[in-house]
Amino acid sequence: MKKVFERPKSLTKDPFTYCPGCHHGIAHRLVAEALDDFGVREKTIGVCPVGCSVFAYVFFDCDMICAAHGRAPAVATGIKKSKPDSIVFTYQGDGDLASIGTAEIVHAANRGENITVIFINNAIYGMTGGQMAPTTLVGQVTQTSPYGRDPKTMGYPIKVAEMLSTLKGVAYISRVALSKPAYILKAKKAIKKAFQTQVEGKGFSLVEVLSTCPTNWGLSPIEANKWLEENMIPYFPLGEFKTPEEVS
Partner 1 sequence: MGEKILMKGNEAIGEAAIRAGCRFYFGYPITPQSELTAYMAKKLLKMEDAAFVQAESEIAAINMVYGAAATGVRTMTSSSSPGISLKQEGISYIACAELPCVIVNMQRGGPGLGSIQPGQADYFQATKGGGHGDYHLIVLAPSSVQELVDLTMNAFDLADKYTNPVMILGDGLIGQMMEAVEFKERKKISLPDKERWALTGCKGREKNYIVPFNLDPYEMEKTNFKIQKKYNELKEKEVRYETINLDNADLIVVAYGTVARIIKTVIDNAKKEGINIGLIRPITLFPFPDKIIAETSEKINKFLVVEMSLGQMVEDVKLAVNGRVEVNFYGRVGGVIPTQSEILNEIKKYLK
Partner 2 sequence: MAKIVVDEERCKGCELCIPVCPKHIIVMSENFNKKGYHSAKQINPEECTGCAFCAMTCPDVAIEVFK
| Binding positions for partner 1, rule: CB under 8 A | 41-45, 47, 54, 57, 60-68, 71, 74-83, 86, 103-104, 106-107, 111
Interacting partner of 81 out of partner 2, partner 1, none (Cβ under 5 to 8 A depending on kind): partner 1
CB 61 within 8 A of CB 41: yes
**Cβ contacts of residue 202 below 8 Å, gap of 6+?**
114, 171, 172, 244, 247
For residue 170, what are the CA distances in angstroms to 13, 207, 222, 241, 242? 34, 12, 35, 10, 8
Interacting partner of 63 out of partner 1, partner 2, none (Cβ under 5 to 8 A depending on kind): partner 1
Amino acid at 15: P
Would you mind telling me the total number of residues written for the chain in this entry? 248
In angstroms, the CA 98 to CA 84 distance is 26
Backbone dihedral region for residue 101 (phi beyond 0: left; psi -120 to 50: alpha; all else: beta) = alpha
Interacting partner of 201 out of partner 2, partner 1, none (Cβ under 5 to 8 A depending on kind): none
Residues in region 89-148 near partner 2 by CB under 8 A: none
Interacting partner of 47 out of partner 1, partner 2, none (Cβ under 5 to 8 A depending on kind): partner 1
Residue 29 found at the interface with partner 2 (CB under 8 A): yes
CB 28 within 8 A of CB 62: no
Q: Mark residues 152-191: x for contact with partner 2 by CB under 8 A, - for none.
A: ----------------------------xx--xx--x---
Report the nearest approach of partner 2 to the CB of residue 28 (Å): 8
- CA 37 to chain CA mean position, Å: 19
Report the nearest approach of partner 2 to the CB of residue 126 (Å): 13
Interacting partner of 148 out of partner 2, partner 1, none (Cβ under 5 to 8 A depending on kind): none
Among 77, 140, 216, 225, binds partner 2 (CB under 8 A): 225
Residue 5 found at the interface with partner 2 (CB under 8 A): yes
Residue by residue, DSSP assigns 84-126 as: TTSEEEEEEEHHIIIIITHHHHHHHHHTT-S-EEEEEE-SS-T
Write out the residues near partner 2 by the rule CB under 8 A: 1-8, 11, 15-16, 18-26, 28-29, 180-181, 184-185, 188, 214, 220-222, 225
